[in-house]
Structure 1
Amino acid sequence: MANYSHDRIVPFKDSEAGKKQQVAEMFDKIAFRYDFLNRFLSGGIDLYWRRRAIREAGAVINGKGVAAGSEAGAESHEPGEILDVATGTADMAIMMARYLPVVRITGVDISTGMLEIGRQKINRLQLQQRITLQTGDSEFLQFPDETFDAITVAFGVRNFEHLEKGLKEMFRVLKPGGRLVVLEFSQPHTPGIRQVYDLYLRLVAPNVGKMVSSSREAYQYLNDSVKAFPEGAAFLRILDGCGYARTRLHRLSLGICSLYTGEKAKLPAGR
């Protein structure tokens, strides 16, 4: 299984702990300010990115005959099952519950601090029957093979300690015909835009993070991991190598964010 330079990027360079332990500690530390910093540092554009990803996941659910936005009392269908990996404070899960009202969502994350904030939000919105959160590691998902119709990961694959292991484990729990949808930060290629974005990640985000959450390391890690991540065509090749079919890339907002999709091929008829 291949190793990538981003696998070795960690938040706390002086720590002897492994990447996933450091990532869990980092997110536990900033959980109480995470949602605010997301909205503030992205100017709210991350909500648009998430809606685009939900549309891709919802297309698979629609293909089963479950219509997004179906009214109560409409034709009965088995609810779709979606797994949200690196769910954090459940932002993505809550948005999916809003836009895909006939799906059940399971969110997993290695940070108990982030999950606690997520459960508070879910309880406040009375979505306990639609969304379940649990502590979980992307490399060891505690679900049977072929459980989910779609899997989403919003800004989480950079945090995997072993990228291919996480991608293959998600492939395992995806149903044939199911779809993986990944949102991840990327680097713009347009001259001028790239330089401004680099300056923002290198100076602005870490300093704002330090002021608001007392953790400059978390947003320095954001800069370092974005630069090291195998984005674009390189990530599509990794998805292909992990078994995904019909892999696609959509660059969003001048390439600041990338939306990747890949599917698990359906079994031949009669198998």
Structure 2
Amino acid sequence: MSNNYLHDKVVPRADSEKSKKEQVAEMFDTIAPRYDLLNRFLSLGIDKGWRRKALNQLKALQPQLMLDVATGTADVAIMAAHRLQPKRIIGIDISEKMLEGGRKKIENKGLSTVIELQSGDSETINFPDNTFDAVTVAFGVRNFENLEKGLSEINRVLKPGGRLVVLEFSKPWLPGFSALCKWYIGKLSPAIAGTVSNKQAYQYLNSSIQAFPEGKAFTAVLTKTGFKQTQCKPLTFGICSIYTGDK
């Protein structure tokens, strides 16, 4: 797999010898205790609506077995359990601390029989070919160390006719709004995060958004890694986009 995407090389700490994967896992372990709180605050709560719209892309498919990659604290898995009512959802993530937070939430909501969280990596998914009806990734593809390898693995574990839904930040196109978002994500978010969590993590968030191949560039990567009927739906003036691809 080629590894020529700018975002593959964007890391939380440029001065570290560790791989992007190791750095991202460490970073999320550090911010895990405050992650949900900060997310709601910094996204002004809009992220819930984005997740709902992303999961709506799977309604007609009625998936019974789902995989949530880069599940974090399991927000998407929990919402999918309520909205799509599959028999089973597996969530994987490379940050053990984020998974711990997710497991607590799942238990509190009485969903332990439906959702199982496992330590796992997008580039070596520990399941056989053609296992899942649907795969979701929310705000996680930017953190893949090798974008094509991660997407090819997702394609491998999807059943024929299955669907991948990706929710990811993008750059808004409305001139004044675009400048405001750039300031908010580039300057204000890291400053706020620095007072309660990890400033560097939110600086990395901004750098990785700027470097990510969004829109048609990303649907082209989906096509290259084996997906068909690829689509991009921008949300909230393009702050965020939903991408879909079928196997």
- The bucket for the TM-score relative to the shorter chain is over 0.9
Residue 248 of structure 1 is matched in structure 2 by 231
Residue 220 of structure 2 is matched in structure 1 by 237
Structure 2: stretches of 5+ with no match in the other structure: none
Residue 75 of structure 1 is matched in structure 2 by none
Q: Tell me the alpha carbon deviations over residues 59-80 of structure 1, each in whole angstroms, 9 at most, x when there is no partner.
A: 2217xxxxxxxxxxxxxxxxx0
How far does residue 58 in structure 1 lie from its aligned partner after superposition?
Answer: 2.6
Contact kept in structure 2, 1:86 and 1:109, CA below 8 Å: yes
Q: Which amino acid aligns with 1:129?
A: T
Q: State the distance in 2 between where 1:16 and 1:59 align.
A: 46
Q: State the distance in 2 between where 1:212 and 1:112 align.
A: 21
The yes-or-no answer on 1:153 pairing with 2:137 is yes
Q: Tell me the alpha carbon deviations over residues 30-77 of structure 1, each in whole angstroms, 9 at most, x when there is no partner.
A: 000000111000011000000011111232217xxxxxxxxxxxxxxx
Residue 55 of structure 1 is matched in structure 2 by 56
Q: Tell me the alpha carbon deviations over residues 90-114 of structure 1, each in whole angstroms, 9 at most, x when there is no partner.
A: 1110111111223311000000000
TM-score by length of 1: 0.89
Q: State the distance in 2 between where 1:159 and 1:21 align.
A: 11
Q: State the distance in 2 between where 1:143 and 1:193 align.
A: 42
Q: State the distance in 2 between where 1:171 and 1:19 align.
A: 22
Contact kept in structure 1, 2:65 and 2:86, CA below 8 Å: no
Q: State the distance in 2 between where 1:148 and 1:90 align.
A: 18
The alignment's C-alpha RMSD in Å is 0.8
Residue 123 of structure 1 is matched in structure 2 by 107
Secondary structure of 1:59's partner? coil
**Pair member with larger Rg:** 1
Residue 41 of structure 1 is matched in structure 2 by 42
Residue 27 of structure 2 is matched in structure 1 by 26
Contact kept in structure 2, 1:81 and 1:150, CA below 8 Å: yes
Secondary structure of 2:160's partner? strand
Q: Which amino acid aligns with 1:130?
A: V
Q: State the distance in 1 between where 2:236 and 2:174 align.
A: 11
Runs of 4+ in 1 over 3 A off after TM superposition: none
Residue 90 of structure 1 is matched in structure 2 by 74
Contact kept in structure 2, 1:57 and 1:151, CA below 8 Å: no
| Of 97-106 and 12-21, the range deviating more from structure 2 | 97-106
List aligned pairs for 1:1-271, cutoff 5 A.
1-2=1-2, 3-61=4-62, 80-213=64-197, 215-264=198-247
How far does residue 7 in structure 1 lie from its aligned partner after superposition?
Answer: 0.2
Q: State the distance in 2 between where 1:137 and 1:128 align.
A: 21
Secondary structure of 1:193's partner? helix
Q: Which amino acid aligns with 2:128?
A: P
Q: Which amino acid aligns with 1:245?
A: K
Q: State the distance in 2 between where 1:204 and 1:263 align.
A: 37
How far does residue 26 in structure 1 lie from its aligned partner after superposition?
Answer: 0.2
Residue 76 of structure 1 is matched in structure 2 by none
Q: Which amino acid aligns with 2:36?
A: D
Residue 71 of structure 1 is matched in structure 2 by none
How far does residue 123 in structure 1 lie from its aligned partner after superposition?
Answer: 1.0
